[in-house]
Structures are given as C-alpha cells and as structure tokens.
Amino acid sequence: MDPAHLIAFNLTLLAALASPGPAMLMALRTTLVEGRTAGILTGLGLGTVAAAWTGAALLGLDVIFTLFPWAYMSLKIIGAAYLIYLAVSIWREAKTPLDSAQAPRRRPFVSGLLVNFANPKSVLFASAVLVVIFPRDMNLAQKALIVGNHMLVEFAAYTAFACALSTRAARDGYLRLKPVLDRIAAGVLGALGLKLAFDRS
C-alpha cells in the first residue's frame, strides 16, 4: 500500500459523503436545529460507525453476511425500522417551534452512531471500494491505518460541514422554512428506510 491508495480512498469517501443520504441529512438537521457543537458530535458518531464498517469489511464481515444471510437481513430490518422511526419523529415535530422543542433532545453522538449503524449496506460498499483501491496483501497495521484514516476524514468533513451551517444566516433560513424542510427530511428518511427494508440486494 502506498500514499496513492489512501488518496484515492479519501476522494471516494468525500464523494460518498457529499451525496444525500441519512447520515448527511441527520448532520444537516442536527446542526441547524441544535447548533454547531451538536452537529460536530453527530458527525463524530457518524464517522465512528462508518470507520467501524470499513474495519469490519477489512476483517471479512461481508463474507459472514454472505454465509449467514439472516444476519444481514436482521440488521437491515432493524436499520430500516430506526430510519422510519426518525422520519415519523421529525414529521411530528415539523410544526413545533424550536423554542418549544428544546428538551429533552437525543444525545447527538449516540444519534450519529445509530443512524450509520442502521445501514449495514455500508459494509458491502466499503468492501467493494477496498477491493478496487487497495492491494490484497495488507498486514494488520496497514488495515488499522486505513480505518484510522477513514475516521479522520469523516470527522474533518462533518466538522467543516457543521461549522459552515451553524451561521446565523443558515439558522434563520431554516427557521423560516422549518415545517417544509422537516417534512422533506422526514420523507427522504422514510423513503430510505423503506428502500432498505424492501431492497433484495
């Protein structure tokens, strides 16, 4: 493994992070609703589990999923149920002013962990990316470096994202459109949960 492999991996990660999905949606909404610190903590939770999925892929969890399809299906059902639960919660709070919905909030780090844990397809995505980018004969130290690198990239990206969205202008814009934006977010999360539940792959 050489630096070119890590650069290619990081570019792939950043492209994946930029695409809309439950992780980006949760980071966006948490930052706008609860502020920069909560957004950063959510990103830390998201990044921790994303890196853990990469570690699992490097250790062969995708093989276990292939050998034991019920384990993969169980994780998919749990994950889909959690995303749908989030969607329903956000939809119900769409018309609630932020001042009335302050307490008690979920712990943002734990919410980030749960959102990315809710998508076991991440390990299959990681497996595909790792096979394409990295050589097969890596030792344990190199695999640990890849996982640590993944975690740092996720942490840096979500922290930058939270800082950019925690401005007064961004928050004021969100407050003006809160009912509409929350219902869009709920719809997207619900659709992703249903897709995860019924996707046969």
Residue 97 has pLDDT above 70, yes or no: no
Question: What residues make up the domain containing 42?
Answer: 3-12+21-198
Return the pLDDT at 62. Answer: 62
Give the tens place of pLDDT for each residue, 25-82.
888 888 888 888 999 999 999 999 989 988 888 887 667 767 777 777 777 787 778 7
Q: Tell me which residue has tokens 């991440």.
A: 122
Q: How many domains does the chain divide into?
A: 1
Omega of the bond leading into 104 within 30 degrees of 0 (cis): yes
CA atoms within 13 A of residue 10's CA, in its CB half-sphere: 15
Residue 100 has pLDDT above 50, yes or no: no
Which of 154, 182, 195, 174 shows the shortest CA–CA distance to 50?
Answer: 154
Q: Distance between terminal CA atoms of the chain?
A: 31
- Following DSSP, what letter does each residue of 125-144 receive, concatenated? HHHHHHHHHS-S---HHHHH
Give the containing element (helix H, strand E) for 44.
Answer: helix 36-58
- Region of poorest pLDDT, from 9-23, 89-103, 109-123: 89-103
Q: Tell me which residue has tokens 């001042």.
A: 99
Q: What angle do CA 60, 147, 23 make, to 5 degrees?
A: 95
Confidence grade of residue 201 (pLDDT, cut at 50, 70, 90):
low
Give the tens place of pLDDT for each residue, 109-152.
988 888 888 776 676 677 777 767 888 778 889 889 999 999 99
Q: What is the pTM of this model?
A: 0.73
Instruction: Retrieve residue 190's tokens.
Output: 């619900």
Q: How far is CA 5 from CA 10, 41, 52, 77, 138, in A?
A: 9, 29, 19, 34, 12
Return the pLDDT at 106. Answer: 61
Q: What angle do CA 84, 126, 146 make, to 5 degrees?
A: 125
